[in-house]
Amino acid sequence: EKQQQQRRSSPCQELSFASIAAAVVAPISSTMSHGSKRLSIKRKFIADGVFYAELNELLTSELAEEGYAGVEVRTTPHRTELVIRATRTQNVLGENNRRIRELTSVVQKRFNFAEGAVELYAERVHNRGLCAQAQAESLKFKLLGGLAVRRACYGVVR
């Protein structure tokens, strides 16, 4: 019984991805927006990785139907540029660039960027056949649309 109690009260077991992300993302977002706080190199790499993972997950869920194929983060001293790669960039931009502005505000609020400190751009995937993520999304939507498995797979393989 004592061993079970010790296992339950162990601080290592109570760590989860969410608690680590909350502890790490808070410093990076304040560092990104203000630039006054310094992070150790280890924390910086962890914070950058968590930021990229959360951003990628957000954009994957939001832009799956537009052929989302990844994001590139470019950090400069004054602003952070996010280049979204997709097969259908017109759908990412939206009518009168409305959708890209909405995504910009969502990213800005989620990661606590200062006003105008983050910019989103859309870039077209030049050779869709060589982009594994775009092909996987294409196959997913073909199968969900009810297309025969063999036909969907041959379309992706070609």
Q: Tell me the average pLDDT across 77-104.
A: 92
Give the start-to-end residue ranges of the domains of the chain: 2-125, 127-158
Is residue 70 within 8 A of residue 56, CB to CB? The reply is yes
3-class DSSP state for residue 120?
A: strand
Name which of 62, 71, 58 is nearest 122 in CA terms.
71
The confidence band for 105, taking pLDDT boundaries of 50, 70 and 90, is very high
The confidence band for 36, taking pLDDT boundaries of 50, 70 and 90, is low
User: Has residue 72 got a pLDDT over 50?
Assistant: yes
b/e per residue, 15-46, with b = 16+ CB within 10 A? Answer: eeeeeebeebbebbbebbbeeeeebeeeeeeb
- Homologous superfamily of the 2-125 domain (CATH): K homology (KH) domain (3.30.300.20)
Per-residue pLDDT of 143-158, as tens digits, reads 999 999 999 999 888 7
Is residue 55 within 8 A of residue 82, CB to CB? The reply is yes
